[in-house]
Amino acid sequence: MAHPEDVVRNYYLLDANNKILGRIAAKAAALLRGKHKAQFTPHIDSGDVVIIINAEKIRVSGKKLSQKVYPRYTGYPGGLKLTKLEDLLAKRPMEVMKLAVTRMLPRGPLGYKIRKKLKVYAGEKHPHQAQKPIPWPF
């Protein structure tokens, strides 16, 4: 079993350029959770930090661009707002990737802690060069 003080965190770099949204999100969620490590423990945050670049260049299959909808509720009666994937990708491409990965992580205190280790950027540049991120092969 892993102990919180013994966990060694690496930085992994995922390039989403021309990759399928769900496949990138699933790999990022597994790395954040620490499932690739031999000492994975479900109740301990043993995952690594994940940096995703080129979030604006993702692909989706089928008619998801025009048919996938992200609902949110304002809190007022009749306040349901629906946003298509196409519109969200044009306005906030990082939000699409964050939502995809977040929804694959557990809810609760552990999930909130894990979620903070996800860094998403729309373009090629990121401010984590000093951490020497390891490119993850696809």
Any idea where the domains of the chain sit in the sequence? 4-60+94-135
Angle at 110 between CA 105 and CA 111, to 5 degrees: 25
User: pLDDT of 101-132, one tens digit each?
Assistant: 999 999 999 999 999 999 999 999 999 999 99
Q: Which two tokens stand for residue 13?
A: 């770099």
User: How far apart, in whole angstroms, are the C-alpha atoms of residue 95 and residue 89?
Assistant: 8
Going by C-alpha positions, the residue among 83, 14, 27 that lies closest to residue 55 is 14
| Cα-Cα end-to-end distance for the chain | 29
pTM for this predicted structure: 0.92
User: pLDDT of 3-52, one tens digit each?
Assistant: 989 899 999 999 999 999 999 999 999 999 999 999 999 999 999 999 99
Residue 70's H or E segment, with its range, is strand 69-73
User: CB-hemisphere CA count at 13 Å for 89?
Assistant: 17
What is 4-60+94-135's CATH topology?
Ribosomal Protein L13p; Chain: A; (3.90.1180)
User: How far apart, in whole angstroms, are the C-alpha atoms of residue 133 and residue 14?
Assistant: 9
pLDDT for position 2: 86
